[in-house]
Amino acid sequence: MDPTLESGAGEVRNIMVPKSHSGRRIDNFLAWFLNDIPKSRIYRMLRKGEVRVNGSRVQQGYRLIEGDQLRIPPVRLEAKSPAVPNRRLWKLLEDSVLYEDKDLFILNKPAGLAVHGGSGIRSGIIETLRTLRPDEPYLELAHRLDRDTSGCLVIAKDPLVLRELHDLFRQGAIEKRYIALVAGRWRGGRRVIEEGLQRNVERSGERVVRVQQEGKAALTEMAPLELFEIASLVEVTLRTGRTHQIRVHAAYIGHPVAGDEKYGDPAFNKRMRTYGLSQLFLHAKSLTFRLHRSKQGIHVEARLPDAPSAVLERLRADQLLF
């Protein structure tokens, strides 16, 4: 641990944020610094103002600045052993690294793994990576993928790199391409869907995203790659990065993503199960961007996982019957 951060555990801790943690969210920093404390306790400490930054209360999303003075109260809880990933998960993540340098690395995220803990999930990919790489002083998600989406996921190793990646995503300077299998036979060529999206609209107690004019601007491009009798394989280019954007826009134009239990077509999903589909068919195929600080251009492609690839082969075989 950085000597700037060292202090006794049973007393008020006054620490100064070093450059290596500048730009990090305070809740994530506290989860790292107080590694035996559950996140629920950390959020409570922030809500009650027990943690102070430069003498003031802050929200859990506050991003630290080099030189910030933190006051952390005494926290007395029985230490618990950190979650240790099983050998299979460890190997899966290590084998999923597509690209790595001193600033970041990019995974081919497996479907079914959450990118971070929460909502009943004790440990996601980022928490697991911090356990697997204890010598890395800083690991943060540069963006997010839905739990059931596979493909390119960027992890930053430096707060300044994280900030630049956030800026690039926000500016649309990172080209994000996906592959999706959607319901129905696609008609025509490339389509642009530019409909606002509103988060957290209640539907029978479930939080969903809906197309709404007053929602946040969202732009999705879709183009057909391969057509089948009951489905179409499309390439999707995201020009914005809203929650569930591809899934909501695809459903909106009448071509919901195969295997989508939230926004999809139950009858279509049932039929796709006969082809062996047991998950959402949405894959983050590639990322292309350039980091200004290193002047390095990066292009990474993630191979489609075996399970959805097998579904495509069955659809192609079925196509021969028509």
Exactly one of 27, 68, 103, 146 is catalytic; name it: 146
Q: What string of H, E and C letters represents the secondary structure of the chain?
A: CCHHHCCCCCCCEEEECCHHHCCCEHHHHHHHHCCCCCHHHHHHHHHCCCCEECCECCCCCCECCCCCEEEECCCCCCCCCCCCCCHHHHHHHHHCEEEECCCEEEEEECCCCCCCCECCECCCHHHHHHHHCCCCCCCEECCCCCCCCEEEEEEECCHHHHHHHHHHHHHCCCEEEEEEEEECCCCCCCEEEECCEEEEEEECCEEEEEECCCCECCEEEEEEEEECCCEEEEEEEECCCCCCHHHHHHHHCCCCECCCCCCCCHHHHHHHHCCCCCCCCEEEEEEEEEECCCCEEEEEECCCCHHHHHHHHHHHHHHCCC
Among this protein's residues, is 101 annotated catalytic?
no
Active site members? 146
